[in-house]
Structure 1
Amino acid sequence: MANTLDPMDLKQIITLHLDGYSNRNIGVSLGISRNTVNTYMRLFKGSDYTFKELLTFENARLEVLFTSRTTIDNERYDALMLYFEGMNKARNHPGFTFLFHYNEYAQRAKEPYGYTQFMEHYRRKYAKIKGSMKLEHEAGKEMFIDFAGKKLHVVDKRTGEVVPVEVFVAILPNSQYTYVEACKSQKREDLIGCCDNALRFYGGVPKAIVSDNQKSAVTRSSRYEAQINRSFKDFARHYNCVINPARGYSPQDKALVENAVHLAYQRIYYPLREMTFFSLQDLNREIKSLLERYNDLLFKRKEASRLELFQSAERGYLKPLPAARYELKDYCRAKVQKIGYVYFSPDKSYYSVPYRYIGRETVIHYTKSAVEVFYNRQRIALHQRNGSKGFYTTNKEHLGSTHRHYSDWSPEFFRNRAIPHGNNVAACVEQIIARVDYPEIGYKRAMGVIQLHRSYGSRRLDNACKRALQADAVSYRRIRNILKNNLDESSLFFQDLEEDRPHIPEHQNIRGASNYK
């Protein structure tokens, strides 16, 4: 099945074009057909935007402007190459003929090439004279990276365990200025972290990073068109460069970094052979010191060191570094729940999204500091990451009008709502909320008391609340019954309590206490 160009591939085409690459070289660098590159370049030029403007567009917008077009399907070509490898072993056997093998190939293949193409591809693959070519490397064009085959070691202070660590090597081929760093593993996060440190070490960015076909760099290895790891591609986008994996089993494609690894064994590994390190930081500090000496060594023929060649010839061709360092992104999927949140499984927490996306499947992009939620490649929510387990992070703009109103509920909110109807109402609301363990239950009851003013008015509600406080009968149901039965106005008993005076009225026929002395 043919691959398709996604928006990141389109941005890589634009980036290389702005760097001065021809369409043919762009196709070679990215493993894409030249005709496909030509087609997209015509589309770019025919649009209403400049190349620099297109580079700043969101992926979704690029996808709308330039619908995906298929690249060359290499399955048919790979099948032919595999057949050639077996056929060529019998090349010197008596009676060998190309026609015999072509007929055998045509019977096996699903979509066989014609005989003329069969022979043309064979001659290209197995030329009569095949020599080694000395490559002239352009300044600032590429950075080769690799992991050393042999490992260094760090000792765990607590257990005494000897822990093997990987060694990352990067080189700028024009000046051969070299960077070396020890790291925990060859995993994606360590590879990207080392590349980030290497670019900071060089103080600039080359046009392309040439890597191996290792799992941390590519998701599907191929001799002709490898698929780059999504995080690694995003790293390249951040630094405005491209990733160009070397062909599998072709060490000549990156001979300089292979040689730099061997030189690292001599200049760094050997001096460290009798030293013991208890942390990666200590080991890298010593590597840095040895690396400075290594880069200061003079080339015999060039009469200059790697550092001098870098400073004089290559540094000026590197692109400037972006202001911020790259943060490693990870990805996971989540469905928007009915309450308008997505469940973020790495932290077991929840983040809000606009309520109109309820029920939709989303993709979450997250770093150490941020969480982004995407739907159909468009970002619909951005939050600061909160590592608290079970925590709900909410953006009030994401909520519907009803949900937004509920999110404001608090004891202070209800007190402010109750005060305009009287101090007694506010006192009752405070008591109702304080008497329950689960605040949302108290909030609903308090809202019920406040809403009674719509049917009975604020004056009567305040009187009813006063009587409920005096009788220690504060609840929504009792206050409602006082108002319903008009007890706030007609009860003489409550009036006497209110005025704090004798219930026997004054009259001239009633003698006072002085008559009984």
Structure 2
Amino acid sequence: MPRGRSDMRRIREVLRLRDEFGASVRRIAAACRMPRTTVRDYLRRLESADLRFGDVKEWSDEELERRLFPPPPAQPRPLPDWAAVERDLGRRGVTLQLLWQEYLVCHPDGYRYTQFVQRFRDWQAARAVPRMRRDHLPGDALEVDYAGMTLMIGVGADARPAQIFVACLPYSGYIYAEATWTQRSEDWLASHVRLLEHLGGAPARLVPDNLKVGVSHASFYDPTLNPGYHDLAQHYRIAVVPTRVRQPRDKAAVENAVLQVERRVLAPIRDTVFVSLDAANAAIREHLAMLNAAPLSGDKDSCRARILAERERAHLRPLPADRFVPGTWSRYKLAPDYHVVIDGAAYSVPYTAIGKTVDVHATAALISIFLRGRRVACHPRASAGSRTTLEAHQPASHRAVARYTPEHLQAEFAAVGSAATLLFERILAAAEHREQAVRAGLGLLRLGGAHGADRLEQACQAALEANVRSWRYVQRWLTSGGPPPASSDGLGEHANLRGPSYYRN
């Protein structure tokens, strides 16, 4: 094992006292504050190497150590491919213990486990990549991620795993965590909203991983954010700066926070039975409070919660007055029926957008439809199977058809007069299907348009007096200028019928 600089300094001092003063082992040990056995070992090594103080005075520590402590002769033991060992360690469930056992299967006379681990660590240290130390500013960044561990919620066969959302402020090290059912966009965005409200402010930038719910196209130079995540960032005026792909060190603070949450929050409650998500989050909050209040290893008089309260929260931006409402985005090419279907419910769009692509933003309460960035329709959420159609979205012909209902026609007849209203009600009551009554009513209104409302009212009054419920009666009354002539129910003239003259003979 390499010796430190202080060891080399003491060896030089032992050699100087021996050569320049001829000091005894006892006096050298007292002067250097070393055990006499150590002094004897150093002197024996110096004599074996035939070294004098004048020789080693200008030597480097590495040269002096090489001459006094030469490495033991190498033993011809086989070594594994350390690069392959490092790659295998990145696979889920693989440990150094397992890799060492597999190594012994191929090399029974190989190194024991302690030496195996030590040599692997030495190999890693020799190839360690320099890491740049980052200086974090208060309120500048907020790193977010999901833990690898899950938490079972429910009883028996109804139990299901919940995902653990984790966030960390790098400056104070303050940790936030909560359980959600999924990692889908709705839960992802809602977790951010609750996180910012818990902190009481917003940082300058968010640092997520390249999850699809946050980043739809990963790029170091120009990443593309998921539309919902972009909306959240715009609402809170936060810049989103994703990490590089497969570079967890870009968010080292939250990576450590995930480790702390798994060890100090999730592990202690791993056997607790939670019947609901709220119960699980209550337990998580309790253990998180203890974690954030625990003294820091580098400063026993401080903790994460205190640093946040005293030094970082003042640098967070105030939250907007209105709360961000998470929603999902989707795209549709508008069909000829000028409706989009969201979760089984249909919502109208102006018919002029038929054949064009519209963007739909759906929240729990509202459906907003955009055409080229401009909102052209907005509807309250409706239940599955229903249809919401605004009259303004329909062409004129469809608006006219939409008015072909008994209720609408009754309102039209009320404007004409009481006789017209009563006649239509009788037609509606006698019809075998309401569509028959609607058609008759439309015919009457068209007659009113041709002859005037007053004449239509008179004709309807005449029909009521004649106890007739017929559009044809009203039409004949109007065209003839009065009551229509009585029609003969006979069969008319015919060569085989005897007329009145036959009986006068």
Report the TM-score, using the length of structure 1 for normalisation.
0.63
Which letter maps to 2:266?
Y
Q: Which residue of 2 aligns with 1:230?
A: 227
Going from structure 1 to structure 2, the CA distance change for 1:456 and 1:216 (only over 3 Å counts) comes to: closer
Aligned-residue RMSD, C-alpha:
3.0
Distance 1:455 1:163 in 2: 71
- Per the TM alignment, residue 315 of structure 1 is displaced from its structure 2 partner at its CA by 0.6
**2:173 equivalent to 1:176:** yes
- Per the TM alignment, residue 293 of structure 1 is displaced from its structure 2 partner at its CA by 1.5
**2:423 equivalent to 1:428:** yes
Deviation string, structure 1 residues 332-369 (Cα, Å, up to 9, x no partner)? 33344555x3222422313242x433443322222221
Q: Which residue of 2 aligns with 1:348?
A: 345
- Per the TM alignment, residue 399 of structure 1 is displaced from its structure 2 partner at its CA by 4.1
Q: Which residue of 2 aligns with 1:151?
A: 150
- Per the TM alignment, residue 205 of structure 1 is displaced from its structure 2 partner at its CA by 0.8
Q: Which residue of 2 aligns with 1:414?
A: 409
Which letter maps to 2:331?
R
Q: Which residue of 2 aligns with 1:374?
A: 370
Going from structure 1 to structure 2, the CA distance change for 1:234 and 1:419 (only over 3 Å counts) comes to: closer
**2:265 equivalent to 1:278:** no
Distance 1:144 1:285 in 2: 23
- Per the TM alignment, residue 455 of structure 1 is displaced from its structure 2 partner at its CA by 4.4
Structure number with larger C-alpha Rg: 2
- Superposed, 1:194-343 pairs within 5 Å as 194-222=191-219, 225-302=222-299, 303-338=301-336, 341-343=338-340
Contact 1:251 1:258 in 2 (8 A): yes
Give the one of 176, 187, 190 matched to 1:193: 190
Contact 2:360 2:368 in 1 (8 A): yes
- Superposed, 1:22-101 pairs within 5 Å as none
Distance 1:483 1:250 in 2: 87
Which letter maps to 1:446?
G
Going from structure 1 to structure 2, the CA distance change for 1:185 and 1:345 (only over 3 Å counts) comes to: closer
Contact 1:168 1:183 in 2 (8 A): yes
Going from structure 1 to structure 2, the CA distance change for 1:442 and 1:343 (only over 3 Å counts) comes to: farther
Contact 1:166 1:186 in 2 (8 A): yes
Going from structure 1 to structure 2, the CA distance change for 1:300 and 1:451 (only over 3 Å counts) comes to: same
- Per the TM alignment, residue 427 of structure 1 is displaced from its structure 2 partner at its CA by 0.8
**2:140 equivalent to 1:141:** yes
Distance 1:225 1:145 in 2: 20
Give the one of 446, 470, 478 matched to 1:475: 470
- Per the TM alignment, residue 408 of structure 1 is displaced from its structure 2 partner at its CA by 5.2
Which letter maps to 1:186?
Q
Distance 1:248 1:461 in 2: 78
- Per the TM alignment, residue 273 of structure 1 is displaced from its structure 2 partner at its CA by 3.0
Q: What runs of 5+ residues in structure 1 fail to find an aligned partner?
A: 1-127, 492-517
- Per the TM alignment, residue 409 of structure 1 is displaced from its structure 2 partner at its CA by 5.7
Contact 2:476 2:484 in 1 (8 A): no
Going from structure 1 to structure 2, the CA distance change for 1:352 and 1:472 (only over 3 Å counts) comes to: farther
Going from structure 1 to structure 2, the CA distance change for 1:441 and 1:179 (only over 3 Å counts) comes to: farther
**Secondary structure at 1:473's aligned position in 2?**
coil
Deviation string, structure 1 residues 49-90 (Cα, Å, up to 9, x no partner)? xxxxxxxxxxxxxxxxxxxxxxxxxxxxxxxxxxxxxxxxxx
Going from structure 1 to structure 2, the CA distance change for 1:440 and 1:282 (only over 3 Å counts) comes to: same
- Per the TM alignment, residue 274 of structure 1 is displaced from its structure 2 partner at its CA by 3.0
What fraction of aligned residue pairs are identical, expressed as a percent?
A: 29
Contact 1:334 1:342 in 2 (8 A): no
Distance 1:376 1:418 in 2: 44
Contact 1:344 1:351 in 2 (8 A): no
**Secondary structure at 2:291's aligned position in 1?**
helix
Contact 1:139 1:317 in 2 (8 A): yes
Contact 2:293 2:303 in 1 (8 A): yes
**Secondary structure at 1:333's aligned position in 2?**
strand
Q: What runs of 5+ residues in structure 2 fail to find an aligned partner?
A: 1-126, 487-505
- Per the TM alignment, residue 136 of structure 1 is displaced from its structure 2 partner at its CA by 1.2
Q: Which residue of 2 aligns with 1:507?
A: none
Distance 1:393 1:364 in 2: 16
Contact 2:361 2:368 in 1 (8 A): yes
Distance 1:168 1:405 in 2: 54
Distance 2:215 2:206 in 1: 13
- Per the TM alignment, residue 144 of structure 1 is displaced from its structure 2 partner at its CA by 0.7
Going from structure 1 to structure 2, the CA distance change for 1:377 and 1:435 (only over 3 Å counts) comes to: farther
Give the one of 444, 450, 470 matched to 2:445: 450
Q: Which residue of 1 aligns with 2:106?
A: none
Distance 2:235 2:427 in 1: 55
Which letter maps to 1:133?
M
Distance 1:361 1:129 in 2: 52
- Per the TM alignment, residue 472 of structure 1 is displaced from its structure 2 partner at its CA by 3.8
